[in-house]
Every structure is written in C-alpha cells, then in structure tokens.
C-alpha cells in the first residue's frame, strides 16, 4: 500500500466518525428546539386555549381583554422562529445522513475491490501474505423468505465483515443494527465463514412480511 493509500484509508474512518458526531449534536439540537416549541404552545394553551391563528380582537374590533396579548404575540413569534430553526436543523440532519451513507458506500466499494484483488492473487497462485480477517459474530437463525435468506445467509455462518463492520472496529451488536438501519434498500457486502470456506454475499435490508429488515438473528461469536 502506498503512503497516499494509507493516508486515505486513515482519513475515511475519521471522516465517518466526525459525521456521526455531527449527527448526534444535530439530533440534540433538534430535541432542544422541539422542547422549546412545546413550551410556547403550552403558554398559548394556558391563554384560554388560544392557538396560532385565533383573532386577538373581539367582535367589535377591540383587543381581547380575556387574554394576555403580549404573552400570546411573543409566544406566537417565538414558535415561528423556532419552527424555522427546526426545519433548518432537519435539513442538516438529512444532509449528514447522506454523507454518512456515502462514507459507508465508499468503504463497501473498497472492501469489494480488496476482495477482488485477493481472489485474483489466489487465482494466479500468488496469495497475499496477510492475516485473514477474524469472525466476530454468528448467524443463529434465518427466517424463510426473508432478505437474509434471499442473500444466502445460513444458520451457523460466522461473520467476517458486515458492510463497514469488521473485527477491528466491531463494538457491539448495536453497531450492526445501526448499519442495517442506515442501509435500507441498499446492498451490503457481507463476508461469512462457512465450513472453513469464505463466501461473499450481497444483502439488501428491506421491509418484508416478517419482523425487522433482515429476518435473521445475529449473536456474538463465543470462542
């Protein structure tokens, strides 16, 4: 691997980690805005149930005496401003999620290219000298007709790579769940070890007649 390739591969995981951190901060800001909006709606509710559109004058055109007009106008103004901020944050969340998906797609492309190079090297009789990837999880059930079954996953398969997840960066089963949720209707490259043989599978998480997006159960590998 060249210095340029080493730098690039090192930058990609960091960029992905930064994107995840940005998404978490944006979600925190979104929840904060939603709480503020609700608080101002509660203020309006406390003013004789006044909402955003009810008139603040009586039938004769005089300011209503039964509500605090200043408080209502202030609450309405703040709600409008906060809703605009909320829309802007949601747009940023959407853009960050697209960026995260792009990072995962690039990682999958690199994984596929590496697998093809390795396969070609073995075919030519010059296997590359490196440590084989380690399994970190195992498939212990597969529902018939599920996306997992369609992809060819079988009970007992030991997972070497699941999209961007491998033994080096695997932290918990929630890590796999996160990849699945962000890859609905998008192909994931999955490498499994089955009876001592490696198999490359193409798994597309999607809605089906059963539960979840995969239709299989994955557990930690117990050695």
Indicate whether 155 pLDDT > 60: yes
Residue % of the chain over a pLDDT of 90: 52
* pLDDT mean over 119-130: 57
User: Does residue 221 contact residue 157 with C-beta atoms inside 8 Å?
Assistant: no
* pLDDT mean over 130-159: 91
CATH number of 137-220: 2.30.42.10
Q: pLDDT (tens digit, 9 = 90+) per residue, 177-203? A: 999 999 999 999 999 999 989 999 999
Torsions phi, psi for 137 (to 5 deg): -150, 165
Residue with tokens 């597309």: 204
């Amino acid at each position: 691997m060249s210095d340029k390739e080493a730098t690039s591969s090192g930058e990609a995981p960091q960029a992905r980690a930064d994107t995840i951190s940005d998404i978490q901060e944006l979600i925190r800001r979104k929840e904060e805005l939603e709480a503020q909006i609700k608080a101002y709606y509660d203020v309006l509710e406390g003013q004789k149930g006044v909402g955003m559109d009810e008139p603040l004058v009586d039938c004769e055109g005089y300011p209503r005496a039964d509500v605090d007009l200043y408080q209502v106008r202030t609450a309405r103004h703040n709600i409008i401003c906060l809703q605009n901020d909320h829309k802007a944050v949601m747009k940023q969340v959407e853009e960050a999620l697209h960026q995260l998906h792009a990072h995962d797609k690039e990682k999958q492309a690199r994984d596929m290219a590496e697998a093809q190079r390795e396969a070609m090297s073995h075919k030519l009789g010059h296997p590359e000298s490196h440590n084989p990837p380690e399994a970190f999880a195992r498939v212990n059930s597969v529902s018939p007709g599920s996306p997992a079954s369609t992809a060819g996953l079988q009970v007992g398969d030991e997972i070497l790579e699941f999209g961007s997840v491998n033994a080096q960066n695997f932290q918990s089963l929630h890590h796999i769940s996160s990849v699945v949720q962000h890859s609905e209707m998008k192909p994931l490259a999955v490498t499994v070890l089955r009876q001592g043989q490696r198999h490359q599978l193409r798994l597309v998480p999607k809605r089906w007649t059963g539960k979840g997006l995969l239709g299989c159960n994955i557990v930690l590998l117990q050695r």
